[in-house]
Amino acid sequence: MRILDYDYCVVGSGLAGLLSALHLGKSGSVLVVTKKGGADSNTNYAQGGIASVMAAQDSFEAHVADTLEAGAGLCDEDVVRDIVAAGPQAVAELEALGISFAHRNEEEGGGYDLGKEGGHSERRVLHAGDITGREIEAVLLERIREVPNVTLREEAMAIDLITTGWLAYRGVDTGEAGQDGSRCVGIYLLDRTTGEILAVRAPRVVLSSGGGGKVYLYTSNPDVATGDGLAMAWRAGLPIKNMEFIQFHPTCLYHPEAKSFLVSEAVRGEGAKLVDGNEQEFMQRYDKRGALASRDIVARAIDEEMKLTGAPCVYLDIRHQPRAFLEERFPNIFAACLGFGIDMSKDLIPVVPAAHYFCGGVEAKVNGETAMPGLYACGEVTCTGLHGANRLASNSLLEAVVCARRMADHLVATPAPDFDMPPISDWEYGDAVPSDEAIVVEHNWNEVRTCMWDYVGIVRTDKRLERAARRIGNLHHEIYQYYMEYLVNADILELRNIAAVAELIIRSAQLRRESRGLHSTLDCSEVGSGRVDTIITDPPGGDTRLAG
């Protein structure tokens, strides 16, 4: 087993990971690991943009108020105020890197072309058409390749964190590194191209691996979103917070050939209405803001309409806007819909909700600190307190930029740990053999995702959660046995992780005895009083690896 030594190891190549690496590369050697190509991330799929107060009629107080309202009483207000106030600086930082946001022409008064999305009281979403995430990702990848201290290793999948607790369990003398409790000192990697196991030894590891939408059968996320960082952190003993709050984006394109294609909330910001099969608007019955209510409300309304009517979808109607406007404002969405035979200027757009964003995650501060020395985290993998029980649209990119900068500044200003890095124990294959049961992995993969969609979706009940807990618990045990018996590959690693994340979501949902934000249960319809978080620290059932 080869051992690679770096000052920092960053897991993930989305906005949070790449920005972290850019900042950290000024003070030491950085390895960025990503399990597919550098551009394979949730950031690359972000259509809407980044929320920030930029207009004269807007204010930080208004942005804070909108965020707190969307978060349904579960946001950390100090965190919200901190991140919102850093918005303009975050925008300036992205622009300094070469990212261009759309502007209005002179006839329209000039300035930023700010979009408005659900839950926002003002136009404050900066965008690059409807491919904001793709533009950001492309520019950051260019910048990363210009930094000599940063190495981007693609097709490298993180398996597990390496901690002094794990090394001591394996009989390794961790020396001074292990004297202050369990510390993160690196990660094990699988080279997806060669099948080789590698170890990265680094005194500071950054998790920026995104969320896990692929835990659900229908999601707007790319195939890489299997919750790897969440699962690794949990196995290492990190507190995992508020995982019951899974945001379902209300409007994923409903078409048999449209895999995970999102129709941005910005379409509703430009006047699109949600209508049923009879072209009747229905959102006003659920919220006075209509189609621009917060995502939790809109997703539940669509879910209820589909159940009431038996229809497979609802529709977005933006036919009042001229074709030229739609082609200019939403070039990617317009072209994609046209490819499926849907002309946005003439036709209704069939949509359904789909799993989109994790508001919970590894408990972390704005500066990236977690409960384990040596391990830092930023982006969707974390729970900082910004999003509460429901994320306000386009606050995710804002959080990623602000937290990546704060974390890098904190790490650079903090003296490096003063101890010799311990030796890393070899990866033990034992009696493991190559798998000849790929069908088992595929079957379990589908079973986990179907179970989560059927029983732990937009609206839940105690009985559904109990069924899900039993099924996922049994599957988790089976998957761990499979993991131990066969040589690891990317498929089994992802399956192991989605089973762990599924268990986290279910257990968190069972702990919350109320309906709040994205967690809606028919058995506890009332919202409780006060701010109560759900935190899970004990290891996943079935997977008995001692990591922490």
Residues labelled catalytic: 295
- Measured CA to CA, the distance from residue 530 to residue 312 in angstroms comes to 37
216 DSSP 8-state letter: S
User: Do the Cβ atoms of 352 and 218 come closer than 8 Å?
Assistant: yes
- Chain centroid to Cα 373, Å, comes to 23
Q: Sort residue 98 into left (φ over 0), alpha (ψ -120 to 50) or beta.
A: left
CA quadruple 409, 414, 419, 425: dihedral, nearest 10: -30
What's the per-residue H, E or C state across 222-243?
CCCCCCHHHHHHHHCCCCEECC
Bridge partners of 357, per DSSP, are 247
Query: Which tokens is 263 given?
Result: 């129709």
Phi, psi of 350 (to 5 degrees): -75, 130
Instruction: Provide the residue type at 219 as one letter.
Output: T
User: Do the Cβ atoms of 147 and 139 come closer than 8 Å?
Assistant: no
- Measured CA to CA, the distance from residue 341 to residue 364 in angstroms comes to 45
β-pairing verdict for 349-358 and 361-363: unpaired
User: Do the Cβ atoms of 514 and 246 come closer than 8 Å?
Assistant: no
- Measured CA to CA, the distance from residue 445 to residue 433 in angstroms comes to 21
What's the per-residue H, E or C state across 268-304?
HHCCCEEECCCCCECHHHCCCCHHHCCHHHHHHHHHH
User: Do the Cβ atoms of 515 and 526 come closer than 8 Å?
Assistant: yes
Query: Which tokens is 370 given?
Result: 């977690």
3-state secondary structure (DSSP) of residue 312: coil
Angle between helices 77-85 and 395-413 (to 10 degrees): 90
CB neighbour class for 23 (10 Å; exposed up to 12, middle 13-18, buried from 19): buried
Closest by Cα among 224, 252, 140, 299 to 491: 224
Closest by Cα among 359, 440, 458 to 399: 359
